Structure 1
Amino acid sequence: MSAVLPILLAGAGGGALALALREAARASPQLAASAESALLALNLAGRLGRTPTASERRRLGVLATVVLGGTALLIFGFGPAALLAALGPASAERLLMRRHHRYREAVAGEVPTLAGGLADALGAGGSLRTAIVDVAPTIEGACGVELRRVCADLDLGRSPAAALSDLAARIDAEPVTALVGAALSQQRSGGDLAALLRRHAEAELGRQRALAAARSATAQARLSGGIVAVLPIAVALLVELVSPGFLAGMARDPIAAVLLLAAAVLQIVGYVVIQRLGRPAE
């Protein structure tokens, strides 16, 4: 019972802090609007591939600083809270980069569907421009968003070559670049573009299957790396909950603080190395 009580108190304290933050946001409309703008920018970065403005990046960095610092203050105290709060802006940028990367992966993942749709439209006798316009409404997700942007460029009078080149530059993913390069090269040479796109769709689908198999084969190594990295943190949190002030006492000892810092650095380096070794080359 004595071990459960600190956990219950910590949970109650976290809930009280969340309620206090919510009431503070309600009391200050400007603060709530800034937080909402930052979260909206993060959402649009992953859903529409939109690049946040400088002010939105600053708001997101401040929000990450408050969240990390407040959480660390509640659990560890002032020293670790200041350190984690300083990592807020970098964490926000990392999160944005991750969202953009997932968006590009989502677009690249639909390349076989896009190539097959364009091939069918071209096989029906349409031009590349009409094929893009016809296929755009049938593609959903991130790839559909990008195709609608290409259609908007076409409506503004841009050529299909320029609009597709902009698409490849925006996404900067090898499958998209290869598809655009093959389509434009074949169009200039006057060959059978529909047949080329069908072959490209089959080849890209095979590449995606091979990549999925490689990721499945290395999933165990990456999972083990994550568990090894998280386990010391989980144990430290449990010890702190059972014996409040334990981590703060260790941090006050210079030798213990240096050893903890060295251990944290080695944990991070080991985790990154395992993730990179377990990630199949695309």
Structure 2
Amino acid sequence: MSAAPLAGLAAAVAVLALWEALAAIEGRVPADGLARLLRPLARAGRDGREPTPPERRRLALVGTATLCAGGWLVGGPLAALVAGAGGPIGAGLLLRRRRQRYRAELERAAPAVARSLADALGAGHAVSGALVETARGLEGAARTELDGAAAAIAVGEPVDAVLERLRARAGGQAWDTLVGAILLQREAGGDLATLLRELAGAQEEAQRLLDDARAATAQARFTGGVVTVLPAGAAALAELASPGALAAVAALPLAAWLAGFALFLQAIALVAIRRLSRVRA
């Protein structure tokens, strides 16, 4: 066997040995280290927690390294640099998306929370006790938030402050109305259990209407998205059928300018379709 294959094999074994040595020094396998870096992302979707600035920086570094590796494999060093520049932005967008999903889950749980609170109040509990009882019968994001609220009340925080923090974390109209009804009843009095049951019914009806609207526009949104990405798919197929076709187009100034302007218009069309077809609460 020649020296070159042996040198390549030795380099590969050295990389693996170094990786295992680092893992042994840390006392954990490499997968655990990666899981630790991505844990803030999981918490954002599971508990709605905002990552700390150091955690955000680590996520940005992981995103940059991942995109650089993908760009290198696809297009070489230049593509790696261009793709890696989007690492911090991609990490931020992913965190935002996870947080939005968490809040959407909370929003859908608001009618069930209102109905459970009404039942607990009807059984004779105060608002603080009703929060504890309601949390026991829920799952997911709503239980996480109500468990936190009940724990804060148990250590002596004012109920009004806890409810206001719960409303701010939920960030939705349904929770604004729910917390507002509870706080108004604490100031002015009234039959809060009946009010919460009526509120739960109204919110459930509103959610049904939103679901119907999304279902009615789903086909139009999908068709619009497909139409806007068809030119990119056609360009990829042309490159596969005739390697170098895109490079030949880019070599001509007028053709490159027209292609870039077409991509710009496609991006505008995609954003316009998303905005026109968005269903808001």
Q: What's the TM-score, normalizing by structure 1? A: 0.84
What is the 5 A alignment of 1:88-237? 88-237=87-236
Specify the alignment match of 2:260 in structure 1.
261
CA distance in 1, matches of 2:242, 2:274: 33
Specify the alignment match of 1:279 in structure 2.
278
User: Per the alignment, do residues 234 and 62 of structure 1 end up closer, same or farther by CA in structure 2, a change over 3 Å counting?
Assistant: farther
Structure 1 counterpart of 2:125, one-letter code: G
Cα distance per residue 1:88-113 (max 9 Å; x no partner): 21121111111111111100110010
How many residue pairs match? The answer is 263
Larger deviation: 78-87 or 177-186?
78-87
CA distance in 2, matches of 1:37, 1:245: 42
CA distance in 2, matches of 1:144, 1:271: 37
CA distance in 1, matches of 2:211, 2:240: 41
User: Per the alignment, do residues 33 and 234 of structure 1 end up closer, same or farther by CA in structure 2, a change over 3 Å counting?
Assistant: farther
Contact kept in structure 2, 1:37 and 1:56, CA below 8 Å: no
1:32: Cα distance to partner?
5.7
CA distance in 1, matches of 2:50, 2:128: 27
Larger deviation: 252-261 or 226-235?
252-261
1:216: Cα distance to partner?
0.9
Specify the alignment match of 2:69 in structure 1.
70
1:60: Cα distance to partner?
1.8
User: Per the alignment, do residues 85 and 248 of structure 1 end up closer, same or farther by CA in structure 2, a change over 3 Å counting?
Assistant: farther
Structure 2 counterpart of 1:272, one-letter code: V
Tell me the percent identity. Answer: 43
Contact kept in structure 2, 1:108 and 1:176, CA below 8 Å: yes
1:252: Cα distance to partner?
4.6
* CA-based RMSD: 2.6
User: Per the alignment, do residues 244 and 272 of structure 1 end up closer, same or farther by CA in structure 2, a change over 3 Å counting?
Assistant: same
Structure 2 counterpart of 1:217, one-letter code: A
Larger deviation: 139-148 or 61-70?
61-70
CA distance in 1, matches of 2:79, 2:101: 31
Larger deviation: 231-240 or 202-211?
231-240
Cα distance per residue 1:192-251 (max 9 Å; x no partner): 000000000000001100111111111112111221233233333333334344434444
- For structure 1, the 5+ residue unaligned runs are 1-21
Q: Which has the larger radius of gyration?
A: 2
CA distance in 2, matches of 1:252, 1:81: 22
Specify the alignment match of 1:7 in structure 2.
none
CA distance in 2, matches of 1:38, 1:260: 40
1:34: Cα distance to partner?
5.7
CA distance in 2, matches of 1:233, 1:243: 15
Structure 1 counterpart of 2:57, one-letter code: R
Cα distance per residue 1:62-95 (max 9 Å; x no partner): 2222333332333344444432321221121111
Return the structure number with greater relative CO, CA threshold 8 A, min gap 6. Answer: 1
CA distance in 2, matches of 1:109, 1:46: 15
Contact kept in structure 2, 1:168 and 1:177, CA below 8 Å: yes
Cα distance per residue 1:105-134 (max 9 Å; x no partner): 100110010000000000011111111111
What is the 5 A alignment of 1:4-43? 26-27=19-20, 29=23, 35-43=34-42
1:24: Cα distance to partner?
9.8
- For structure 2, the 5+ residue unaligned runs are 1-14
